[in-house]
């Protein structure tokens, strides 16, 4: 990839990147487990599974029960958990600090914005609408839009097709090793959100930027764009004296 190519688009993951969704998902899962007479599971034990999607996260909660749960009961509990989450918890997840301002600043500079997530389309739509940021995005690719989810390159490649940009023109912002791998396979530069759900910093490599606050991301992206258009200083040659 050409690392000096100008960014034309910034693409975001959802869970752990734009939204802090783990607390609400964990609460929904534990309420369903408690109702079924099962044990609570701490958020830290569900964190890595969330990168694969909502249902894999709940399956992790089932797998961590001290008493094995048969497949039929586990399937029914999963259905109940997704329904309970949608009714009670889905729209309560907050954006990470600074996201709204960052999206506005990037949009103002003419960048295309996209979402590439392993979350299902319906819940993604609800989250974006609850935070009033739906209109910020030019294209969205969710779980089920491609045959393979992240970390395969398929979702990000589809999103680039919808945005009409090349890999060299894209920055993908995520919080997990799955996001880093998807970016790498897609030949896209990756920015790592350190406030998300990665188990360790090494999971977020390779990246061109790791950031804690969204003001850092915004400044870095805009600085990269400005550097490509910095005026070139030069000295005019002195006129040649032809008289003799």
pLDDT value for 48:
81
Q: Is the pLDDT of residue 240 over 50?
A: no
Do strands 170-174 and 189-193 pair parallel, antiparallel, or not at all (unpaired)?
parallel
| Greater pLDDT, 82 or 3 | 82
The pTM (predicted TM-score) of the whole model is 0.88
- pLDDT confidence band for 242 (50 / 70 / 90): very low
Q: What is the mean pLDDT of residues 122-126?
A: 96
Do strands 170-174 and 139-141 pair parallel, antiparallel, or not at all (unpaired)?
unpaired
pLDDT value for 229:
45
**pLDDT 10s digits, 135-188:** 999 999 999 999 999 999 999 999 999 999 999 999 999 999 999 999 999 999
Q: Is the pLDDT of residue 239 over 80?
A: no
């Amino acid at each position: 990839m050409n690392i000096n190519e100008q960014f034309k688009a910034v693409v975001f993951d959802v869970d752990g990147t734009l939204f802090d969704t783990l607390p609400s998902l964990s609460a929904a899962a534990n309420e369903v487990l408690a109702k079924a007479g099962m044990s609570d599971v701490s958020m830290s034990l569900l964190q890595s599974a969330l990168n694969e999607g909502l249902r894999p996260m709940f399956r992790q909660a089932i797998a961590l029960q001290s008493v094995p749960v048969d497949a039929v009961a586990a399937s029914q509990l999963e259905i109940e958990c997704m329904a309970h989450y949608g009714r009670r918890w889905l729209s309560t997840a907050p954006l990470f600090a600074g996201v709204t301002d960052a999206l506005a600043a990037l949009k103002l500079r003419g960048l295309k914005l996209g979402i590439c997530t392993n979350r299902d389309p319906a819940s993604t739509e609800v989250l974006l609408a609850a935070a009033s940021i739906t209109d910020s995005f030019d294209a969205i690719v969710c779980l089920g839009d491609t045959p393979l989810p992240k970390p395969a390159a398929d979702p990000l490649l589809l999103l680039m097709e919808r945005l009409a940009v090349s890999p060299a023109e894209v920055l993908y912002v995520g919080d997990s090793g799955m996001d880093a791998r998807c970016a790498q396979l897609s030949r896209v530069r990756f920015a790592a959100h350190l406030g998300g759900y990665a188990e360790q910093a090494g999971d977020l490599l390779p990246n061109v930027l790791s950031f804690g606050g969204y003001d850092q991301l915004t400044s870095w992206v805009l600085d990269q764009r400005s550097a490509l258009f910095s005026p070139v200083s030069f000295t005019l040659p002195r006129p040649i004296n032809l008289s003799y």
